[in-house]
Amino acid sequence: MISSVKYTPSSLNTSTFSCRKFPVQKPQLSTLPIIQNVKKNTYLNLLSSSNQKPLYLACTNTFIKPRSRNNLTECKAYEADRSRSLDINIDVSDENSTQKFKIGLYFATWWALNVVFNIYNKKVLNAFPYPWLTSTLSLAAGSLIMLISWATRVAEVPKVNFDFLKALFPVAVAHTIGHVAATVSMSKVAVSFTHIIKSGEPAFSVLVSRFFLGEAFPMPVYLSLLPIIGGCALSALTELNFNMIGFMGAMISNLAFVFRNIFSKKGMKGMSVSGMNYYACLSILSLLILTPFAIAVEGPKLWAAGWQTAVSQIGPNFVWWVVAQSVFYHLYNQVSYMSLDQISPLTFSIGNTMKRISVIVTSILIFHTPLKPVNALGAAIAILGTFLYSQVIHLN
């Protein structure tokens, strides 16, 4: 997979990259500085630059004509995760050990933060069943953290303009719907069940792309949907504490996140902000969108009464649970968006699948979620399908 090679111009020039099956001589490995966010021009520059310089290549099986930006974004399903990565991402095949370590660290942090968020989110929702407010607080915490970071110059202030905000708006609407729907789901069913259904997001991705955007996929992609859909269906049918709102919330979240990724891919092309700032702007816009709806659906009266009940049951610690779920929501998302600056969509989607496994297993253990073996089998099949999907979609 790793292909850092030195080349000699006599044996290799840009035209030699035109055949996919080009027989590659054993590359002479060299240590390269990590090249991140390699864009088309950088890539071409490297090809045409001094012949003494090492050449950055994607990988030997993409030893073809230099990949254009279009080719980089060619993956047609708006993957379960963040299709924005398809726009900003890179070839990561020259990951050296430092880069691998860094990615490992990102993943470990992302999963850990996500697990902690899910645990505290559920604890809060059990005591205080107002998902619209908790969703709003998650976005508010993130917005506050980022505004402070910008004000104190801890983070670089993004240069955004009206066009950026206009393009971000539909992404934020979809993000808001997906976030609230997932939280509503988790207020009604076990965390594990929400995440099992959320592992079905690739199926939504392919079906929406197929039926709304008219995009076709190779047969392996459709086949990978069978275990995903079958596994989710088996799990839903055998779920001991099935609840229709909980189920529909997770399904709506899947659909909304697919549209978020489509809007993100279509609207944000060519715009450049870091992953961290992109997510910060998304949070702030989503907060502005969500707040009036949260007030309309639940409202301060219910919140005040619910808060008093929760504090009387849990004690003063309840406040810290709310803080934890809000802050960890922002942190895990921020890390996941930051990791997009470092890794390929494939690596990301595999990471996201593994993340779901961590959340499902941890939440079952912590909340002692009752589980029938057939239910667990459904979850395992669905997750396996997601993993297969993440493999075949990137071959597309």
DSSP-assigned states of every residue in 11-73:
T--GGGG--TTPPPPPP-B-------S--HHHHHHHHHS-TTSPEE-S-GGG-SSPPPHHHHT
Q: Which is nearer to ligand 3PG, 142 or 178 (CB)?
A: 178
Cα gap 385→229, rounded to integer Å: 8
* Span interacting with ligand 3PG, options 178-186, 222-230, 274-282, 300-308, rule CB under 6 A: 178-186
Q: Please report, for residues 59, 85, 234, 372, the alpha-carbon distance to residue 240 in angstroms, rounded to integers and kept in the order given.
A: 47, 37, 12, 8
Restricted to residues 303-342, the positions that interact with ligand 3PG (CB under 6 A) are none
Q: Which is nearer to ligand 3PG, 38 or 80 (CB)?
A: 80
Q: Which is nearer to ligand 3PG, 178 or 202 (CB)?
A: 178
* Span interacting with ligand 3PG, options 19-27, 177-185, 272-280, 373-381, rule CB under 6 A: 177-185
Cα gap 247→306, rounded to integer Å: 24
Query: Phi, psi at residue 131, to the nearest 5°?
Result: -65, -25
Which amino acid, residue 210? Answer: R
**Can residue 82 be called a binding residue for ligand 3PG (CB under 6 A)?**
no
Q: How far is the CB of 258 from ligand 3PG (least distance, A)?
A: 11
Query: Phi, psi at residue 55, to the nearest 5°?
Result: -100, 135
**Can residue 228 be called a binding residue for ligand 3PG (CB under 6 A)?**
no
The correct pick among 4, 183, 199, 224 for binding ligand 3PG (CB under 6 A) is 183
Q: How far is the CB of 349 from ligand 3PG (least distance, A)?
A: 12
* Span interacting with ligand 3PG, options 44-52, 175-183, 258-266, 388-396, rule CB under 6 A: 175-183
Task: Convert residues 30-69 into a mask of x (bound to ligand 3PG by CB under 6 A) and - (unbound).
Answer: ----------------------------------------
Exposure of 226 in the CB half-sphere (CA atoms within 13 A) = 4
Query: If 0-12 CB within 10 Å is exposed, 13-18 middle and 19+ buried, where does residue 8 land?
Result: exposed
What does the buried/exposed string (b/e) look like for 309-321 if buried means 16 or more CB atoms within 10 Å of the residue's CB?
A: ebeeebeeebeeb
By CB under 6 A, the count of residues binding ligand 3PG is 5
Q: Which is nearer to ligand 3PG, 123 or 198 (CB)?
A: 198
Which amino acid, residue 161? Answer: N
Restricted to residues 198-217, the positions that interact with ligand 3PG (CB under 6 A) are 198
Q: How far is CA 268 from the centre of its chain?
A: 16
Q: Which is nearer to ligand 3PG, 58 or 208 (CB)?
A: 208
**Can residue 182 be called a binding residue for ligand 3PG (CB under 6 A)?**
yes
Q: Which is nearer to ligand 3PG, 63 or 329 (CB)?
A: 329
Query: Phi, psi at residue 5, to the nearest 5°?
Result: -130, 155
Q: How far is the CB of 381 from ligand 3PG (least distance, A)?
A: 19
User: Is the backbone of residue 7 left (phi > 0), alpha (psi -120 to 50) or beta?
Assistant: beta
Q: Which is nearer to ligand 3PG, 182 or 273 (CB)?
A: 182
Restricted to residues 108-147, the positions that interact with ligand 3PG (CB under 6 A) are none
Q: How far is the CB of 115 from ligand 3PG (least distance, A)?
A: 11
**Can residue 260 be called a binding residue for ligand 3PG (CB under 6 A)?**
no
Restricted to residues 358-387, the positions that interact with ligand 3PG (CB under 6 A) are none
With beta carbons less than 8 A apart as the criterion, state whether 385 and 345 touch: no
Q: Please report, for residues 6, 14, 47, 270, 324, the alpha-carbon distance to residue 9 in angstroms, rounded to integers and kept in the order given.
A: 10, 9, 10, 32, 56
Q: Which is nearer to ligand 3PG, 63 or 279 (CB)?
A: 279
With beta carbons less than 8 A apart as the criterion, state whether 139 and 283 touch: yes
Q: Which is nearer to ligand 3PG, 136 or 224 (CB)?
A: 136
How many other CB atoms sit within 10 Å of the CB of residue 6? 15
Q: How far is the CB of 47 from ligand 3PG (least distance, A)?
A: 37
Q: How far is the CB of 141 from ligand 3PG (least distance, A)?
A: 13
**For residue 125, what are its two tokens?**
């929702």
**Can residue 179 be called a binding residue for ligand 3PG (CB under 6 A)?**
yes
Chain residues in the site for ligand 3PG (CB under 6 A) = 178-179, 182-183, 198
